[in-house]
Amino acid sequence: MKEKPVLDFIPPDHVNIMGYVDESEVNGPGRRAVVWVQGCNRGCPGCFNPQSWPFEPNQIVSIYELAAQILSNPRNEGVTFSGGEPFWQAEALAKLARILKEKGLSVMSFTGFTLEQLQSPQAPPHSQDLLSQLDILIDGPYIQSLAINSPDSLVSSSNQRVHVFNPEFKDKLNWASDQVEIHILKDGTRIVTGFLGSLNLI
């Protein structure tokens, strides 16, 4: 289990994120908002998002503002947490998830931990709370030697697993495709996501 990072620069009910997009169709079932959190101490060789590693302030946003932003776009059917490591910010993300679920959105998360680690006493604080809000969890670190270079795969390396906690999604595991999405944000920043499996802030 990785050492617990120091996150006391993040106020309560806030999350430190590195990116956000609306209406992604390549990060889970349907059209989804995607929140990439800032901070991961796993250091997987070949990680697609090394810029997400530092536990340093990036965009620190209130979960209430983030919920309002996600809900302001009626085309978002759910939210996906990616990273970085979402479970180091589990308490705030669980609260955000609860707000969104009450409004009918689904919630999915990626994690570098295994489900068993998240269920153990050594799990990051509030992991169980976030787990209890999830419809789908994709677990396990990216392992370069086990990489699956296929647009049809839901996972990036063969050790990773798709846990479907909500049976409604059992037959909706079809988001992996050979598509790449390029989102151009208001400030001109481009976010590229999709089969490349990566988030590139260019």
Please report, as ranges, the residues that interact with ligand SF4 according to CB under 6 A.
Answer: 40, 42-44, 47, 49, 52, 83-85, 112, 141-142
Q: Where do the DSSP E strands lie in 46-127?
A: 59-62, 78-82, 106-110
CB of 171 to ligand SF4, least distance (A): 27
Taking the C-alpha atoms of residue 135 and residue 22, their distance in angstroms, rounded to an integer, is 19
181 φ, ψ (degrees, to nearest 5): -105, 140
Smaller CB separation from ligand SF4, 88 or 105: 88
The two tokens of residue 196 are 């490349």
CB of 140 to ligand SF4, least distance (A): 9
Taking the C-alpha atoms of residue 155 and residue 149, their distance in angstroms, rounded to an integer, is 10
Smaller CB separation from ligand SF4, 113 or 175: 113
CB of 157 to ligand SF4, least distance (A): 9
Smaller CB separation from ligand SF4, 124 or 141: 141
> Which residue is closest to ligand SF4 by CB?
112
Amino acid at 170: K
Q: What sign for the dihedral angle of Cα 11, 183, 187, 58? A: positive
Amino acid at 202: I
Smaller CB separation from ligand SF4, 67 or 108: 108
Smaller CB separation from ligand SF4, 85 or 135: 85
CA angle 112, 148, 41 (to 5 degrees): 20
CB of 40 to ligand SF4, least distance (A): 3
CB of 47 to ligand SF4, least distance (A): 3
